[in-house]
Each structure stands twice: as structure tokens, then as C-alpha cells.
Structure 1
Amino acid sequence: MDPDFQEAFNDVQSSVYRTALKLRSVQSLCRLDLVDVSLIQHIISSEQSQREKQISLKVQQISGMLMKLFQRVRLEKPGQVDPKAAEFTLSLLTTMYDRSGTGYIKTRSAAAALIALSGSTLLAKYRAFFHFYAVHDGKVALITRSALRSLLTDLNQIPAIVGESCTLSCVENATHSCFHGVLNSGIVEEKFLSWLRSEPAVLLWLPTCYRLSATEMVSHQARCRVCKIFPITGLRYRCLKCLNFDLCQVCFFTGRLTKPHKRSHPVVEHCVQVSAKANAKHFLRTIRNNLFQERCRRKEAQRRRALETVEERHFPTHKKTFLPAELSASPLPGPENLSFPVDRPILESPKFISENRIVMQRGENNGKTPEQSKTKARAIASFEADVLKMHESIKSIHNESRYI
């Protein structure tokens, strides 16, 4: 990628948004946003059958595949494909997967890059990843640990082309998180798709790039409080602390601020125009955050303690870490209203705690006296009563907001 071109995005503070913006530009340059995943699968599969499913293809064969690919796109979308699109894409693939100049590129590596930068939906991309990297075990197709590691390594070469690659440890951590608690040699498609929807950190650039592409022409009837642009085009960010405070994506990405907004305030991201009902809901939430600051802080502290307890109990060796700058802006997939406020209350439900109580009692009743069991039961009952009080206090907060 041109260094001067990369320099234009260096003001973007979040590495996820910076990577997504650069890759969106690469996608537009190669016109891969006009390509559908089904077309990629059809052409690569036909080429594999002709070459007896070779593991690698010559660069000349990859070039022929790309020529066929963009010829089909020209027929479907005349006048929109650059004549040099195939040449640009071939140069991109060779730079990513043939740095030593061997003249060969792995078929599924090229497929992973084309699929990731295509214009299809995230679900279609995820299913295509499974199709190319799954291993057939009898009648069931599975993604093994080695196959997932290969997929993540191949996908990691895409942000590396714009100077934003992750370390190998990120790939290993992502593989471990996907197979956490899995005893089999592989996972089925449903488990694989569920893990990808949870947005592992190593692939956050993929849904973010998709949202940037899907919202380029979306217009919001709101004014940016920093640059004063109206209407806001693309992604819209609304503060959940400041009243009627909106930011355009350029000001949000570059960290431009104005009073009274601060960087630590929770925000919500909108990909489409917001309805009147959603506007009222966000307004009431902003009022609540300002009127009940101390109570919200206490609830947040209680929530964090509860989550830490659950993590220590169920995930003693696996902890997620987030960069401070990305806490209030964790990207989520899909061209829809997406919210990720920091102050969102997430507490354990009484049902969840009662189920845990049953498991604990079954494991701890053996070898204990009746007096010890009664003492333990009283402690658990007291804990449940405290949690129920917490839920009642949250309901009272919502009722007070409704009256306001």
C-alpha cells in the first residue's frame, strides 16, 4: 500500500477503525465490494476440480481465475468494474501470500482474502470460511484447531498489507477461546459461526470494515457538535452522558472533542436512521445517567464484581483484555442500530444463581454435617436475597426515568 495513502489514516486513534478504513480503501481500489461470495466459491471450486484439487495454484492460474471473476461481475454490473481490477487484486494476493516469490499461492488462502474483502454479508462470509477450511469427518464437516489456526493466520495477512497486523499470540489466544471447553477434535459449523459472531479481537476489523461499507450512503438527520456538519453521513455516534450530543464518524475516529463531552463518556453507534421511539429511549437513558450518577456508579461496581466472580469460577485461565480507548466503542456487526455503552447493567439473574446453587449443593453436600449444610444454605439464601434487592433497585431506576 502507498505510504502516502496510509498517512491519511494515521490520525485515527483506534487501531480497529484505522485498519478497517485502510482495508475499505483497498476493497474499493480492487472493486472487490462488487463481488459476491457465491461467485468466488463457484469459480474457485471449478478451478480446483480441473486441477484435481491442488493445495496451491500457480500465480498465472490465479490470474486466470480473477479474469473470469471480474468478467462475470462486468456482465452483472456493467460500467462499475475498473479494467485493472484483476491486476490490482492479483498484486494484492501475491504481496500477501507469495512474499518469497515462489510463484505459487495456496488456494484457500486466496479464497479467504477474496471472501473477506467481498461485498457479501458477514454471515455469508463466515459460512464460506467454513466451507473452504472445514475437514470432512465422515458425514460431518468440522473445523479443527489446525484448520482454524491456518484460517486466522491467512486472514491476519490482510491487515498486515496495510501495516496493521496482529501478533501470532493473538491467533493462539483466539484459537484457544474458540475451543474453550471443547473436548472433540473439531467443532461444527454452528459453533464456528457462534464464535465468529462474538467478534474475537483478532478479527474485529472484519465486521467494522463491513459496517463502514454498508453505511457509506446512510444519512442521519442530526448535526455533529464538533465539525457542525449536517446531516451526518455514515456512522453516527451519540453520547449517553451529554444531552443531544452527536458526533460524525470522522470526529469520533480522530478523537475530536468539545465541551461538555469527554472521552470517557459512553457512546452508542447508529448505522441506520433512528426512530422516534429509540430517540426517546436514549434521551431517558441520558437523563438517568445524569440524575443518578452515584447509583449508577454503585451498580457498575456491583456488576464488575459479579462478572469477576463468574470469570474466576468458570474461566480461571481465560480472561479477556480490552484496550482502554476501545472500551466505549467495541464494533459490532450488521447495518442496524448498535449500542455498546460502558454503563450497561449486566447482572446475574435469580434463575441463573438458583441453578448454580443446585450444582454447588450437589457437589458440596457429601461429607458435611447437617449443621454445616444448614449454615451454607443460609449463606446462599442471603446472597440470593441481596441479588433480588439489586434487581428491585434497578426496576425503581427505570420507573423513575419513566416518570421523568
Structure 2
Amino acid sequence: MQGQDNLSSSGDHRLALIHEMSAHNFDLIRFASYRTATKLRFIQKKVSLHAVDIWNVIEAFREQGLHALEPSSELSVARLETLLCSLYHSLNKRAPPTQQAHVDVCSSLLLNWLLAAYATVDNVGKIRVFSIKVALATLCAGKLMDKLRYIFSQISDSNGHLLQWRFNEYLQEVLALPAAVYESPTFNYTDSLANTIFSPNVKVTVNDFLDTLMSDPGPPSLVWLPLVHRIANVENVIHPIQCDACQRENFSGFRYRCQKCPHYTLCQDCFWKGRISAPHTLEHQVKEYSSFVRIIFAIRGMERS
């Protein structure tokens, strides 16, 4: 009954989450990759997955028996809810009192968002095991390399080579995440997409897989994926300098410096949304910085002979 209640309210929960996301004006960000990554980072933090490590996710999969199920198997709402609640209960056992997750709220928000993201006409009220694995492994905390290693273990054969048809399924599942935050026009799935990333005639190892997906730039359809991690890494980085557009000092996040205007600096909010001041223009090339290093020149006096 509880699962049915969650299902019936999934639209309301998802709309509330989307409305809150819209209030942050992420759609004003000019660049689709940053816009998508920022939206998914918002979802990640809203449901406290930023505090759940990939290894905790894998452990929860095993504890709930998902490792023994076929990827195409479907889970009921009730079983998915049990999985998510176990994730948050485990988190609260490790986290200090001030960082505890509200189990009921987080599990309900995440459950209904996942149901909406992966809903089809044929599986209303259910979700595929592989969909759950891809979504949680993508949105949880942890190193991108560790996440991709886990994904590769799910889409490779016993010889350690990528199964092209499974990679194709992975792309369908992972690109449902940008679609869930209304970014499918840029990051959409096509039947030929897998073959543009890896040739079906080449044996792809885990190192090949990691090198390709973590390269800079990576596959165009997945450029938002490493950006989610980079944005998370710079959220608390403070730049003790003034933004030349909004005049704000000590801003956080990325910092952008014009390569043409001497010493011209923009905070990430101004750069992403196109706010500038003279003499800078949007056509000027800029460089992105994720840290701030103040250079101090020491001048030593020479001893007189």
C-alpha cells in the first residue's frame, strides 16, 4: 500500500522538486553541459546522494539482492523504496548527528524522481534493475573512475571486454538523467550513438573505457558527467578576488579570466549567464580556474662586496 501511495503522488513530488530547481534559474546558464551538470548536482544534494559513496551503493545492491537479478528484471515500487531506505539508514549510521539524512523525505523524493525519469507506458509502477544501478551509481558520491569501473563490470563479458549491446543499454539509461531535468534536446539517445563512441569491431578493455569516458573532452553526449564531479569539487573553493561584472568579492566555484582583457575576472555565475562589463565581450576567450593561488614575488637584496 505504501508503494502505491508513493506511486500516486510521484507526479506531485517530482513537480515540487522541479519547481524548486527552476527557482534557482539554472536554465539561464548558456552552456548545456554546465546547465545539465548543475541541475543534476542540485538533485543529488536535494536527495542527499552527495553523502552516499559508490561503495555504499554497491553494498546496498548486494544486501538487497540486486546483484543476483538480471539487469532487465523489474523491481516493484515497494522493493525500490526498501533499497533507498536502506541506503539512507546506512548513511545515518556513519554520519555525525548534524549531517543525518531525513530517511522518509529523501527516499520519497528520490523514489518518485527515479520513477518519473524511467517511466514508460509498459512499466508503470516498476523500474528495471539496470536503470536503478546506473542512476544511483551516477548520482552518488565517489570518484568518477570508481563509478565507471563499476559500470564497466555490469556491461562487460567474462573476458573483460565491453559488450556493445550492453553499452548501448547503458547509454539509454544514463541519458535518461539529463532528460529528467529537461536537457534531452542536447543530450539525447540515438540508436547509432554507441557505435560513434566505440567501434563494435574493436575489443574494448576497462582501461579503454575509462580513457575514453574520462578524456577531455569526452564523448559529446556524456560531457556533463565529469562536470558534475568538477562542480562538486569547487563548490567550497573561495577566490579572494573581485568579479569585474557583478563586483562581488570572495566568490566560490569556478573562476574565469579573460585571455584578452588584462586581469579581467568573472565569477562562475556571471560567466555562465553572460553577464559582463566593458571592455570584455562574450566573444573573448576565457580560461577556467578551479583554485586560487596568490603569487608573491620575493626580492632579495644582494650583498655588497
Query: 2:74 is matched by which residue type in structure 1?
Result: S
Q: Which residue of structure 2 aligns with residue 113 of structure 1? A: 135
Q: Which residue of structure 2 aligns with residue 67 of structure 1? A: 85
Cα contact 1:220–1:232 (8 A) shared by 2:
yes
Q: Which residue of structure 2 aligns with residue 336 of structure 1? A: none
Q: Which residue of structure 1 aligns with residue 176 of structure 2? A: 157
Cα contact 1:108–1:133 (8 A) shared by 2:
no
Q: Which residue of structure 2 aligns with residue 368 of structure 1? A: none
- CA distance in structure 2 between the partners assigned to 1:143 and 1:230 by the alignment: 48
> 3-state DSSP class of the match of 2:57?
helix
Runs of 5+ in structure 1 lacking a partner?
Answer: 280-404
Aligned mate of 2:192, from 167, 172, 187: 172
Larger Rg: 1
Number of matched pairs? 271
Q: Aligned-pair RMSD on alpha carbons?
A: 2.2
| Matching of residues 283-298 of structure 1 within 5 Å | none
User: Are 1:256 and 2:282 counterparts?
Assistant: no
| Matching of residues 23-34 of structure 1 within 5 Å | 23-34=40-51
Q: Which residue of structure 2 aligns with residue 14 of structure 1? A: 31
Could you state the TM-score of these two structures normalised by the residue count of structure 2?
Answer: 0.82
| Per-residue Cα deviation, 1:61-101 (whole angstroms, up to 9, x for no partner) | 11111111111111111332123111111111111123435
| Per-residue Cα deviation, 1:208-249 (whole angstroms, up to 9, x for no partner) | 121221111111122110011111211111111111111100
Cα contact 2:69–2:129 (8 A) shared by 1:
no
Cα contact 1:30–1:89 (8 A) shared by 2:
yes
| Per-residue Cα deviation, 1:99-156 (whole angstroms, up to 9, x for no partner) | 43533211121111111111212112211211222232xxx22222211111111011
Q: Which residue of structure 2 aligns with residue 38 of structure 1? A: 55
> 3-state DSSP class of the match of 2:242?
coil
Alpha-carbon shift at residue 43 of structure 1 (Å): 1.4
Cα contact 2:235–2:253 (8 A) shared by 1:
yes
The structure whose residues are more often helix, as a share, is 1
| Matching of residues 4-403 of structure 1 within 5 Å | 5-6=21-22, 8-48=25-65, 52-53=69-70, 55-79=73-97, 80=99, 81-83=101-103, 84-100=105-121, 101-136=123-158, 140-165=159-184, 166-169=187-190, 172-173=192-193, 175-180=194-199, 183-184=201-202, 186-198=203-215, 199-274=218-293, 276=295
Runs of 5+ in structure 2 lacking a partner?
Answer: 1-16, 298-305
Alpha-carbon shift at residue 275 of structure 1 (Å): 5.5
Query: 2:192 is matched by which residue type in structure 1?
Result: E
> 3-state DSSP class of the match of 1:115?
helix
Cα contact 1:31–1:85 (8 A) shared by 2:
yes
Cα contact 2:21–2:42 (8 A) shared by 1:
no
Cα contact 2:75–2:128 (8 A) shared by 1:
yes
Could you state the TM-score of these two structures normalised by the residue count of structure 1?
Answer: 0.63
Alpha-carbon shift at residue 270 of structure 1 (Å): 1.1
Alpha-carbon distance change, 57 to 229 in structure 1, aligned in 2, over 3 angstroms: same
Alpha-carbon shift at residue 190 of structure 1 (Å): 0.7
- CA distance in structure 1 between the partners assigned to 2:21 and 2:125 by the alignment: 28
**Greater Cα shift, 190-199 or 71-80:** 71-80
Query: 1:244 is matched by which residue type in structure 2?
Result: H
Cα contact 1:6–1:162 (8 A) shared by 2:
no
- CA distance in structure 1 between the partners assigned to 2:66 and 2:18 by the alignment: 37
Q: Which residue of structure 2 aligns with residue 2 of structure 1? A: 18
- CA distance in structure 2 between the partners assigned to 1:261 and 1:50 by the alignment: 54
- CA distance in structure 1 between the partners assigned to 2:89 and 2:294 by the alignment: 41
